Amino acid sequence: MNHHETKGTAEGTVGRDDAAGTPRRSLREWMAVRLDIPADVTGGGLRLDLRGRNTLTVHGCTGILDFNPCEVRLAVKDATLTVRGCRLICTAYLAGAVGIEGHICGMSFSDGEVQS
């Protein structure tokens, strides 16, 4: 290993630290690129799991902006996700995942900065 290479660990970084100062990628990012794995599978992206019309799990949520029985607004990467329906309840909020149950009528995204 020469003086420009970096040794990676499970949570470390891999790649070369070149003279131009190009940042090194995490092992997760490097593996995703090399193996052509989508970001949502490696944990770096947004994933929505809708089961029927009554159960939604949002992975990659950075916060709950507003919550009432008819509308839930969630902060996700560079956007706001709005879930509309009836009798909506939040069943879980843990490690960036939000569980929502009730009669889900629709979902929409507002791109750009997260609105509060």
Is 97 a residue whose pLDDT tops 90?
A: yes
Contacts 24+ apart (CB under 8 A), 49-52: 50/104
pLDDT at 108: 95
What are the residue ranges spanned by the domains of the chain?
A: 5-42, 47-111
Q: How confident is the model at residue 7 (pLDDT cuts 50, 70, 90)?
A: very low
Q: What topology is assigned to 47-111 in CATH? A: Immunoglobulin-like (2.60.40)
Reported as a single tens digit per residue, the pLDDT across 57-87 is: 999 999 999 999 999 999 998 899 999 999 9
Is 106 a residue whose pLDDT tops 90?
A: yes
C-alpha to C-alpha distance for 81 and 109, rounded to whole angstroms: 5
Give the residue, 114 or 107, on which the prediction is more confident. 107
Reported as a single tens digit per residue, the pLDDT across 20-65 is: 566 676 776 777 778 776 665 666 678 899 999 999 999 999 999 9
pLDDT at 5: 45
* Whole-prediction pTM: 0.64
pLDDT at 92: 94
- Evaluate whether 47 touches 59 at the Cβ level (below 8 Å): yes
